[in-house]
Structure formats: C-alpha cells, structure tokens
Structure 1
Amino acid sequence: MDSGSQGLSDPFVVVKTRGSFGAPWSEVARTEICSNTLSPQFVRLITMAYRFEEIQYLRFEVYDADTSFSSASADQLDLSKQDEEGVAECALALIVGGAGQAWTGALTSSTNPHKGGLGTITVRAEEVPDQNLAVSLRLQARDLVLQRKQRKAAGMFLRLSRSVEGGGKAIPCYRTEVRRDKASPQWDTITAPAAALCAADLFRPLLLEVFAYAQEGAHTLVGACSASINDLQGLGSKTLALKSSAGEACGELAVLECRTFTQPSFFDYLGGGMELQFQCAIDYTSSNGDPATPGSLHYRDPSGKLNEYARAISDIGSVIEFYDADKAFPVMGFGGKPHHSQPVQHCFAVNGNEAQPEAMGVQGILQMYYDSLRTVELFGPTLFAPIIGQAAGVASSLQTDDPSHHKYSVLLILTDGQICDMQNTVDAIVGASHLPLSIIIVGVGNADFKSMEVLDGDDAALVSSSGVRAQRDIVQFVPMRQVASRGEHAIAKEVSQKDQSLTRMCVLAEIPDQVVAYMKSQNIPPGPRRLVPKGSTLRDVLQDRQADFKRWESLKSTTGPYGTGASSMHVSAPPPYVSS
C-alpha cells in the first residue's frame, strides 16, 4: 500500500458485489481496521454465496480510516469521510479457480484508473466448514391407495421439499426417477448435499410427496408426509403414514436407509487442480435460413445485436472459460457442407482445420462462428450422434489417474430443430454417461423441441437400444426462447419449469453436481490443494487470468481498472459460500 502523510495507514477493506455487468454495487461486508501498517493481514472472514453458473463481480475498496475510531470495527464509519487507498475488481471465479484458490493484483485509483504504485491486494477463498455434509436416503412407498385416474399413470415418483423458516410454501429440492411399480415403488438411493436438501439443518422438516406421473405434466398427488433427516435416521423399522390431499390414509413410506456422511465438493476438486474443458457444436442445417437475410437464425445484425446462437455461446462460454487454463475451445459444426464443393458432414471443424479446431476464448468462438457463415453451406439433416461421439472421444482421452490433472468436458450443442437420429443419439449419450462429460443442448428459434426433453433424463434414465441404462444424467436441455428476454447470462441460469413444482432449474448450476457425481462414480478423490509454484508470486501465476478478465470486460465496452484484489477469503460448496 501507499503511505499516508504520517508514513503509515489504518487500512480496512469494503467488499462489494453485483450480479451482472452494469448493475449497481452492493456492499457485502467490511474487514476490521488494522492500525499503523502498510501490509495489513485482515482477520475477519466474509461469507457469501458462490454460484458456479454466474459471473459474480467483486469490488474491493481499500480505505485509510481518517476519522477517530474507538474500536477495530469499520462497520459504522462514513466512507465519504475516509481516504481511499485504492480499488480492485475481479470475478469470484478467478479466485476459486486460481492456484491456491487465491488471487492478487494491483490497486488503482477509482478516479484515475491509470495511476499505479498504490500497492497490491490478495484474496484467498476457503470453503465454509460443514458444507460437505451429504445425505444418503433410500425410500419405498408401500400399499399405495390410488384414485381411478392414478391407476392409469405411467408410474410413481417422489418429491422432497424443505420447509421455509417463518412458514410459507415448502421449496422443492429433489425429485426421484419414475418407477413403474404403482403399489410399492422403491426408488434409487438419493444422495444429495445436506445443504441442498435441508440447508444443512438435520432438524428442518422435509415434505415428502408421492406423485402419480403424467407424461403431459399434470402429475397428481397420491400422498404426503413430513419428517426431518434426524427423524428419518431414528425411524428404524417403522414407517411414515402417507395422507392424501383430503387427509385420508393412502399408504406408507418406508425408510430403508438414511445416513449422513461427508463427501468431496466441487470446490475441493477445483482446489485440487481440476479444470473444465469447453466444446461447442453449431447447427448448420438449412432450416436455420439464409444467413444473409434478417429472418435467418444465423443472421449477423449490423447493429451488433447477438443472434440466439451467439448469445448462447457468450452466456455459457463466458462462465466456463474462467475454469479452463488454456481457453482453447474446440468448435465443431454439423449438418452443413464445410465448403460448397464438399459433401454434407455431421461433425467437422468450423475453422476447416480438423487437427486444430480450437478457438481462443469465447470471443474467438464468436469470431470463428461469424467467419464460418461465409464458407459453410447450410444443408441437413440434423444428427447429434456423431458430435456426441466425438466429444466422448475427447472426454475419454482426458481421463487420468493423476488427481491433480483431472479435466471434465462440457459440450454445448446449439440447434434449431428436431433431430433425425434419436435412437442413435440416446445410444451415444448412454455410452458416454461413464465419462467426464456433461452435455448442454440449447434450442434456438421457435421449433417444437418436445423430443429434446426426452434426452434430458430428469424424468427417467435413458436406456440404449441394447437395454443398457445410463449411469448418470449428463444432459440438460433449454429452449432459448424461454430466456430470451431475461437479461445477462439468463441462459446460463434459468431453464423451463418442467412440472408444477415451480422449481427453477439451471443449465450450468447442475454442472458442479454432475462433476462430483462422476468423480464419485469413479472413486476419484480431489487432488492435493494447489500451491503457488516456488519462485512465483500469486500475481505471476494469475497474470494471464487477469488479462483475460480485462479483455472480457473491455469487450463489454467498459472503461476503468480491472486488476486484482482483496483480503483473505473463505468459500463453500453446494450451495457454496465464501468468506473473505
């Protein structure tokens, strides 16, 4: 830090955040005041939620307490009367994904961004304790009494909802697969973070509801009961009575297993060196329309407004690229002719270089996509299996026994319509379900995407043509039109409401759980926590990421300092929390 008039300073840090670019900053908390020092090490931990699916902007304002103070607390100080020492801004992902889960950089003046020599500030992230507590729960309904309409249902599923402090409608937090047994269905073991099920409060009541499944979405309640995780653990051989919406007995719910345990979190795997590897696949079928005409889904508006393809790439890619060190993203196409003289291909490098199909960063993907519209001839049909097969091959090649070098692939498929190889696609997804791979399918335009929802295995696990069941759900689908008017990064955060539970599902919010599920299925522990290499400073290690953030912000038409920042930080996993 720079020195004040007396050579020393009484610094404290104000931590601010905002959810989207351009939104006003809101204060999260302040550190304590450290008296008479230019190298303060703050003790106070600041806790905040870490959301993988968002770009969470952070601002650190360093002040010299210039008014008299009787304690170390800065909470009541009027900031307008304090001397600003410098500011720094970053994204939380830069801290969580950095070496040692730390981030450092230069303080600059808020009024003169080019003024240097103000010192540096460092932020470290740690997971809040007890966030790794998980629950394993195996349940079976018995002797269900069904109404006439419910007897014709395709099967039964169970929904868990956690109670809300102060009353109000319970919040759905888990839904099982559909079981065809209608009298005494037994569901797969539920394994979920205690934070997600009951906010890590084992005494918080859960609402357990058995529904008769209807394919059109009009599921009907068979019966419900209420119990906490603590209650379920103490039941032993006893059962819970299910009551219908009319209050009548309609069966029992047996607890076959209920236990709690600790498990590694997404945060632990990031801290151990795991990276995400982003791949993008673009639909070049003729149903998109001539890219030269304004009605085309591939039309590039001279005003700079992104079409739906470009917006999805930007929204999703700009979140994931924080977690990929080299930011070299393969970009593939399907359903088009790479050049007019060539035959139609269903998996080709958009840049024409099959040996090196990568673009550098999200902006590189967008430029490669725009350039391709001058050379690729739109054709058809729409086939997914070749693209998924290629991504599976990449994911397979990334598998390693070294826990500090794990990579997990995320494939983004952008398409404008129904696919013509549904069974082959299901087979490809089932075949890839044991690999470090998640698939996000975004539907652009106004086509009927009903069959796409089959691929999203939330209602029932996918089964291949040979009868093999998917090891885990690796596909998420969202129609772009449902989020087209919801602001920055909406596609990354919000998806359709698939049932009447009003549960808001997230495209990217499910990636951390899918990563942990894969690691668990393969018995892969997190690697040892990464440290800053000897002879390097944190600033050396994170210099490239800092530059990436500056470049990303400049492309959003910003001006001002984007460098580094802050005191010590503390983070937690699903749902993660951060302290500083």
Structure 2
Amino acid sequence: LLLHLIVIKNTLDPVWKAFTVPLVSLCNGDVDRNIKVLCYDYDNDGGHDFIGEFQTTVTKMSHASTTEVEFDCINPKKQRKKKNYKNSGVIVLRSCKIIRDYTFLDYILGGCQLMFTVGIDFTASNGNPREPSSLHYINPLGSNEYLAAILAVGQIIQDYDTDKMFPALGFGAKLPPDWKVSHEFAINFDPTNPFCSGVEGIAQAYSSCLPHLRFYGPTNFSPIINHVARGASQALQQERAAQYFTLLIITDGVISDMDETRHAIVAAAKLPMSVIIIGVGNADFAAMEFLDGDASVLRSHTGEEAARDIVQFVPFRDFRNAPKETLAKSVLAELPQQVTQYFKQRNLSPSNQAAE
C-alpha cells in the first residue's frame, strides 16, 4: 500500500498538484502491473467518505505525456445498486512522465569533470611559517595541517578530472615585488596560468611560495569564491552536464568579509559549484558553521535565499588522529548530492551515452 495524501478543501472540482514517486514504490518497477487508485471525501473528524476507485498501469498513465487521460471513478456499492450508474466522478490525468533518476556516478561516467580549485589562507593569524607554532610551519616530516588537508581531499577528487590540472590560489598575504596585499593570487606566482599538475603539484607550489610571502590580512573569502564562480558561469552557458566546480578553502579563522561572502555563496548556488571549507587550528569556527546551511537556509545580506546548500564545513581538529581517508569522507560527504541536485534542477542528463 502506497499512501500519497493531498487534501484539496472547499471544492467539488479539486485540482491536485504534480508530485513525484519512485517507480519501485509505485509498481515495483513493473510498468504493466495493476495499480488501484482510491479517492475519498475528506472529513476533519477522520471519517473520510469513499468516493470511488479505478485501476490502471504506469503504461496507461504514460499516455498523459502527450494528451490528457481520463479514468472513471467507480464506487462498487453504488454500481451494484444502481442500474444506470456510470461513475462517481472522473479523474483527469493531465501529465505523467517517467524521468530517470540519475546518480552521481551516472554523471561522472557521462563525462562530467569535477573542476577542483584550492584557496589557501595566508593571513598573519596563522603565525610566522618559520616558527614551529605556526599553522604553516612544515615539520621535519614535511607536513602541516594545510598540506594534510590538501592531500586528503585532493587525492580523492583528482580522480574525477582527466587532465588533473588544478588552480591553486592564496589570499591574505603581501606579494613581491611591490608587497601589496592580495586576496586572489596564484601560489605559483603565474596569474596567467595558476594551474598545478595534480595534488602533488599543489603541495609543491604551496611549499615553494611560503618563503616569498608576507602574511597579512584580512581574511576575505569572497574574491576567491567569485573567481571560481566566473569559471562556473562559463560552464553554465554550455547547457550540458559537462563540468562541476569545487572550491576547497583552507583557513584558520574568522571571516572578515561575511556580507560579501554570503552574497557570493548565494550567487554561486545558482551555478554548477560547491564550496568546501576546512578549518585548521583551534579558532572559533562558528561563522563557518553558519555558512554551512545544514541547519537553516543561507541568505545574503540583502535577504536573498540560496537556491540550494553548496557549503560543507569540517574542522580539521576533529580528524587530527584519524586516517586521512576519514577526513576526505567527511569533507566530500555532501558533494555527490550537490552535483546531482544541481543538474536535476536544470533538467540536464549525463552528457554522453556512457551513462545510458
């Protein structure tokens, strides 16, 4: 028994809203299996009056994909008692479509590339990278929390991009030769080609750039979010499920441009894009939790709601003593759903026949 309850009050000619139901739940995937539909007159006291019923199949209902289909609503008791009984009403099916529910794997096999970008926090609150107390200090084992986060996430996500060339950006530091602060710079110092070869290339560029930066501030996220959003906007023009952009921001503290960041995320929610934030160190990450709209819908400072939740925040400290696979699993937990949700909202199927 499948119950789909929609009550239309105060009318003898109800019009029900469209709804979706899994084919497996409706008919166990058998489009020729009989389905009985029962219609009741709703009563507030729960004593609903039976109006009538009809039987059909998904195959018959699918005819409504091109033209309306009508079903006589029959009350068997009245049919037996009344000689000239025709029906107790007519159910008109205005539209019925079978839509394939594509999975994340369908889109990947269909040729969708995950375009991965890293954004790294080089603000002064991280500490002098030459001092062991700094979050950017590379220990004798050649690691720190920034590198650990890059490798844990990047080594998983790079397998979903064929060329494995990833932009790596920094923010919150002063750059040579004029030592002006920048919130959107290539860590390989090549603004025309900020791409690094694989996750190892990102790690190498990160380690190499540290001695050449002067950590400064403030902690502004919006420039890097908008940077990736520009690429996602171009992908949007293709009208194909060909690319989905993922920005990994690694940061140690409180966001300085919260209004601008909220605005940037709300705008990015309309694009094929997600934002992953990993918090390193022991700072208060309450603002990051706010951006991760699991508890409530994120709004821009003007009140506009995000079309969908695209932010996932994870504090690195929760995984310091765990295998890197555990961090990656938590960080990427929402990404498959965000990818499929976006393409479904835009009615985009996987790009090629590999997913069929």
Other-structure match for 1:517: 341
Distance 1:239 1:449, change over 3 A: farther
Deviations 1:63-91 (A, max 9, x none): xxxxxxxxxxxxxxxxxxxxxxxxxxxxx
Aligned-residue offset at 1:239: 10
Distance 1:202 1:362, change over 3 A: farther
| Structure 1 Cα separation of the partners of residues 127 and 43 of structure 2 | 59
Deviations 1:34-89 (A, max 9, x none): xxxxxxxxxxxxxxxxxxxxxxxxxxxxxxxxxxxxxxxxxxxxxxxxxxxxxxxx
For 2:146, which of 284, 302, 309 is the aligned residue? Answer: 309
- Structure scoring higher RCO (CA < 8 A, sep ≥ 6) equals 1
Whether the 8 Å contact between 2:239 and 2:348 is mirrored in structure 1 is: no
Other-structure match for 1:385: 222
Runs of 4+ in 1 over 6 A off after TM superposition: 137-140, 200-203, 233-241
The residue type paired with residue 297 of structure 1 is L
| Higher helix proportion | 2
Matches within 5 A, 1:207-246: none
Matches within 5 A, 1:123-142: none
Whether the 8 Å contact between 1:138 and 1:190 is mirrored in structure 2 is: no
Aligned-residue offset at 1:419: 0.5
Secondary structure at 1:393's aligned position in 2? helix
Other-structure match for 1:438: 274
Residue 284 of structure 2 corresponds to residue 454 of structure 1: no
Other-structure match for 1:343: 180
| Structure 2 Cα separation of the partners of residues 515 and 409 of structure 1 | 9
The residue type paired with residue 268 of structure 1 is D
For 1:295, which of 133, 156, 159 is the aligned residue? Answer: 133
Aligned-residue offset at 1:262: 3.9
TM-score computed with the length of structure 1 as normaliser: 0.45
Deviations 1:431-487 (A, max 9, x none): 111100000000000000011111001111111222221111110001100111111
Other-structure match for 2:351: 527
Other-structure match for 2:318: 482
Distance 1:314 1:194, change over 3 A: farther
Residue 208 of structure 2 corresponds to residue 371 of structure 1: yes
Distance 1:263 1:341, change over 3 A: same
Secondary structure at 2:286's aligned position in 1? coil
Residue 262 of structure 2 corresponds to residue 426 of structure 1: yes
Other-structure match for 2:48: none
Secondary structure at 2:226's aligned position in 1? helix
Secondary structure at 2:205's aligned position in 1? helix
Aligned-residue offset at 1:338: 2.3
Other-structure match for 1:395: 232
Deviations 1:127-146 (A, max 9, x none): xxxxxxxx9x9999xxxxxx
Aligned-residue offset at 1:402: 5.7
Other-structure match for 1:267: 105
Whether the 8 Å contact between 1:340 and 1:377 is mirrored in structure 2 is: no
| Structure 2 Cα separation of the partners of residues 413 and 320 of structure 1 | 14
Aligned-residue offset at 1:376: 1.3
Other-structure match for 2:114: 276
Secondary structure at 1:341's aligned position in 2? coil
| Higher strand proportion | 1
Secondary structure at 1:344's aligned position in 2? strand
For 1:332, which of 169, 174, 188 is the aligned residue? Answer: 169
Secondary structure at 2:333's aligned position in 1? coil
Question: Number of matched residues?
Answer: 284
The residue type paired with residue 291 of structure 2 is L
The residue type paired with residue 229 of structure 2 is A
Other-structure match for 1:352: 189
The residue type paired with residue 491 of structure 1 is L
Instruction: Give unpaired runs (5+ residues) of structure 1.
Output: 1-134, 141-188, 204-232, 242-258, 495-506, 532-570, 572-580
| Structure 2 Cα separation of the partners of residues 377 and 436 of structure 1 | 34
The residue type paired with residue 159 of structure 2 is F
The residue type paired with residue 516 of structure 1 is T
Aligned-residue offset at 1:395: 1.1
Other-structure match for 1:285: 123
The residue type paired with residue 203 of structure 2 is L
| Structure 2 Cα separation of the partners of residues 443 and 263 of structure 1 | 34
Distance 1:420 1:201, change over 3 A: same
Distance 1:262 1:294, change over 3 A: same
Distance 1:371 1:240, change over 3 A: farther
Other-structure match for 1:84: none
Residue 300 of structure 2 corresponds to residue 464 of structure 1: yes
| Structure 1 Cα separation of the partners of residues 318 and 19 of structure 2 | 30
Matches within 5 A, 1:43-54: none
For 2:245, which of 384, 401, 409 is the aligned residue? Answer: 409
The residue type paired with residue 107 of structure 2 is Y
Identity among equivalent pairs (%): 43
Other-structure match for 2:58: none
Distance 1:138 1:265, change over 3 A: farther
Other-structure match for 1:26: none
Aligned-residue offset at 1:261: 6.1
Secondary structure at 1:451's aligned position in 2? helix
Aligned-residue offset at 1:492: 1.4
RMSD, matched Cα:
3.2
Distance 1:483 1:268, change over 3 A: same
Other-structure match for 1:68: none
Aligned-residue offset at 1:509: 2.1
Distance 1:139 1:432, change over 3 A: farther
Whether the 8 Å contact between 1:266 and 1:516 is mirrored in structure 2 is: yes
TM-score computed with the length of structure 2 as normaliser: 0.72
For 2:328, which of 483, 492, 508 is the aligned residue? Answer: 492
Deviations 1:288-325 (A, max 9, x none): 01111111100111223x21111110111111100101
| Structure 2 Cα separation of the partners of residues 368 and 239 of structure 1 | 69
| Structure 1 Cα separation of the partners of residues 196 and 40 of structure 2 | 57
